[in-house]
Structure 1
Amino acid sequence: MRIWSLHPKYLDPRGLVALWREGLLAQAVLMGQTRGYTHHPQLRRFREQPSPGGSIAQYLLIVHQEAVNRGYRFKAEKINPARASRQLSVTEEQLMFEWHHLREKLQRRDPAWLARWDLTRRPRVHPLFRVVPGPVADWERGFTPPGRSAILKKIEPIVNQD
């Protein structure tokens, strides 16, 4: 499961569909409607919110809007009606890690889609999040501190965008 902190516009069609499905699964987990994935580390940042179900629903609304923008027919009625009362934080280095990770995935899966973002040095964050200084999240799998400097050199610092 990958709940991206990046704006969903960067995801290729396959990635956007996967995010929708994984987001709906995350919603079910956070609402106590399934017994699987209950300890998934990606869900910790949602669980720490006053309204975990509202936070993931807010997240899914943006994913749904991106799907609508592309002409897809994701069913909005699958999104819980609860809403978050505040933004979640994501660190600069977490966002850079995800950007690097997504670029590697797209290089293998859809180089033509990746080419659309070749000039992007400061990717937009998913609107549910606000960017704050800090390291890669401790819940992130697949990250080892020695690789950190390589990621930081490849991608310019991220800043909050309007």
Structure 2
Amino acid sequence: MRIWSLHPRYLDRQGLTACWRETLLAQAVLEGATRGYTRHPQLERFRDLPDPLGAIGDYLAGVADEATARGYRFDGGKVHRRSETPVLLEVTSGQLALEWEHLRRKLATRSPELALRWAGVELPAPHPLFTVTAGAVASWERATLPAAESASPQS
């Protein structure tokens, strides 16, 4: 399961679709509707919120907005709830940098033309749900990159 902190605009078709499906799974987990993935570390940042289901709904809405902008039809009816007041979560620059490198590796293999399009971007914009703060990779992150490329910026 990967709930990207970076803006969905950077995802290729496969990545955007996978993000939608995996976040719908996260929604089901947070609702208690599934027995799998209940301890998935990516859900920690949502579980710690006063309204985890509203926040995951807001996240899904951001993914659906990107899909709509591309002409895809993601079923917004699958978003069970949105938060009453807008939610903004923090993501560290180190976490965003790690996810960016992870995505760039995927794009280089799967969608080289998109990898070239984003080649000049040092640090991507975050998903609309997030605001960037200085810091290292998040404690819940389990992805690793080869040692030469895993150094995360602290600012």
TM-score surpassing 0.5?
yes
- Cα offset for 1:141? 1.1
Q: Which residue of 1 aligns with 2:62?
A: 62
Q: 1:45 to 1:145 in 2, by over 3 A?
A: farther
> Residue 58 of structure 1 contacts residue 84 of structure 1 at CA under 8 Å; is this kept in 2?
no
Letter in 1 for 2:47: R
1:143 Cα offset (Å): 2.7
Determine if the alignment matches structure 1 residue 107 to structure 2 residue 108: yes
Matches within 5 A, 1:45-60: 45-60=45-60
Q: Does 1:18 align with 2:18?
A: yes
Query: Matched residue pairs, number?
Result: 153
Q: Give ranges in structure 1 of 5+ residues lacking alignment.
A: 158-162
Identity, % of aligned pairs?
Answer: 53
- Within 5 A, what are the aligned runs for 1:1-162? 1-83=1-83, 85=85, 86-143=87-144, 147=148, 148-149=150-151, 151-152=152-153
My pick for the range that moved more, 117-126 or 1-10, is 117-126
- Distance, in Å, in 1 between the alignment partners of 2:109 and 2:147 is 23
Shift in CA distance, 28/108, structure 1 to aligned 2, threshold 3 Å: same
Question: How much is the aligned-residue C-alpha RMSD, in angstroms?
Answer: 1.9
Q: CA deviation at 1:84?
A: 6.1
C-alpha separation in 1, matches of 2:130 and 2:65: 16
SS of the aligned residue for 1:89 comes to strand
Per-residue deviation, 1:145: 9.9
Give the letter for the 2:97 counterpart.
Answer: M
Counterpart residue type for residue 118 of structure 2: W
Q: Return the letter of the residue paired with 2:67.
A: A
CA deviation vs aligned residue, 1:2-26 (integer Å, no higher than 9, x gap) = 0000000000000000000001000
What is the rounded CA distance, in whole Å, between the counterparts of 1:55 and 1:100 in structure 2? 25
Structure 2 CA distance for aligned equivalents of residues 132 and 126 of structure 1: 14
In the other structure, the counterpart of 1:160 is none
State whether residues 55 and 84 of structure 1, in contact with CA within 8 Å, keep that contact through their aligned partners in structure 2: no
What letter is aligned with 2:38?
T
What is the rounded CA distance, in whole Å, between the counterparts of 1:19 and 1:84 in structure 2? 23
Measured in 2, the distance between the counterparts of 1:145 and 1:116 equals: 24
Structure 2: unaligned runs, 5 residues or longer: none
